[in-house]
Amino acid sequence: DIVMTQTPLSSPVTLGQPASISCRSSQSLVHSDGNTYLSWLQQRPGQPPRLLIYKVSSRFSGVPDRFSGSGAGTDFTLKISRVEVEDVGVYFCMQSTQFPRTFGQGTKLEI
């Protein structure tokens, strides 16, 4: 299985300031079709996960543009340009390049 490792596991942030989460995979996430299937999910307290970013850098419908994704190969980053109160929660990276799908441990974003 591909192991996904996120850093940090906990991130105290200041409202209005940027935040960044890293995700590293144990193998390259470049699929044989040339795509890289790395996505980012947000889980607010008591809620199911919500898709934010797919294929490294594509924002899902309705996701604010303060969220952005970047990276390639085995190293990926989720950035929030200016943190808002509603951004509190746990963020997961997920790979869909290889079966089984696997997730990072989660990064808790707290104000």
Residues of the shown chain interacting with another protein in the complex, contacts defined by CB under 8 A: 31, 35, 37, 39, 41, 48-51, 54-55, 60, 92, 94, 96-97, 99-106
Residue (3 or 15) nearer to another protein, CB = 3
The CB-of-82 to another protein minimum distance in angstroms stands at: 25
Nearer to another protein, 71 or 104 (CB): 104
The residue assigned the tokens 């996904």 is: 4
**16 versus 33: smaller Cβ distance to another protein:** 33
Phi then psi dihedrals of residue 96, to 5 deg: -125, 20
Query: With contact defined as beta carbons under 8 Å apart, do 8 and 110 qualify?
Result: no
Element (H, E) at 41: strand 38-43
CB of 14 to another protein, least distance (A): 26
SS3 call for 72: strand
CA angle 30, 34, 39 (to 5 degrees): 50
Cβ at position 110, least distance to another protein in Å: 15
